[in-house]
Copies of this chain bind each other. A is one copy, B any other.
Amino acid sequence: MATNFDNYFKSAFTVDNVIFGFDEGDLKVLLIKRGEEPHIGEWALPGYFVKTEEDLDAAAKRVLSELTGLTNVYLEQVHAFGSVNRHAFGRVITVSYFSLIKIDNYIIQPSSIALQAQWHTVNGLQHLAFDHDTILESCLQRLKWLVKTRPVGFELLPPKFTLTELQHLYEAILRCPLDKRNFRKKILSMNLLVDCDETQEGVAHRPAKLYKFDRKRYNKLVEQGFNFELKETPIKIKKTVEVSS
């Protein structure tokens, strides 16, 4: 039995933020180029050490702001990663946080120990520093789940959006094609969208209607027991069956 507790107080923790955005039909994640050892010069999630006198959640916010310039971002904890050798400087556990933001609403300004901060397309990403590949993957899983369970897709889109944009967002996150008519029927039947009475401009085809997400209405419905639910129902692919005569 250890009675000398001092031995336990030799570890550190960090927070790592997985910030998702959506642009040009692709799911993006915000990465920094590290300006400090270990893994200097490599792309990594924006993360850093938690101060001793700082709450975990507050640290995530601060670190994100210091590294990327992002403030006022709602962060949600995902998972703690605690393999012994995941950090070269000693025993470091990291706690991951994730968020969904509208890319256009924010200006990314790398500072602190970040050489650069940039949006990267999630699909086909290169290897990241530390165990950040694993961390990102676990946040992608969380996102997939969240998007089916809560109306969070709207966090990634501009305030006014078309139904096709919304569908593309879902298809990118769920990684499966959805049926246009059924998707629209389902989403509209939830009564969470308000028709803006406006249409797209500057497109070389029939312009689409613009909608807004009505958060007040959503909150009210939730109080009444409403449960957002969107299933991952890919379009069926027709099989050609050979029949032996």
Contacts and interface: CB of A to CB of B under 8 A. Distances in A.
Contacts of A121: none
B82 A13 contact: yes
B52 A1 contact: no
A186 interface: no
A72 interface: no
Number of copies: 2
Interface stretch (A4-12, A24-32, A207-215): A4-12
A195 interface: no
Interface residues of A, number: 34
A159 to B, nearest CB: 31
Contact of A12 (B8, B54, B55, B113): B8
A52 B91 CA distance: 6
A62 to B, nearest CB: 12
B80 A55 contact: no
Given A8-B49, A11-B9, A93-B93, A56 B77 contact: no
Contacts of A52: 7-8, 10-11, 91
A136 interface: no
A186 B215 CA distance: 34
Closest 9 CB pairs of A and B: A56-B82, A8-B12, A80-B80, A8-B49, A9-B12, A80-B95, A52-B91, A9-B90, A55-B83
5 contacts: A1-B112, A8-B12, A11-B52, A13-B82, A93-B93
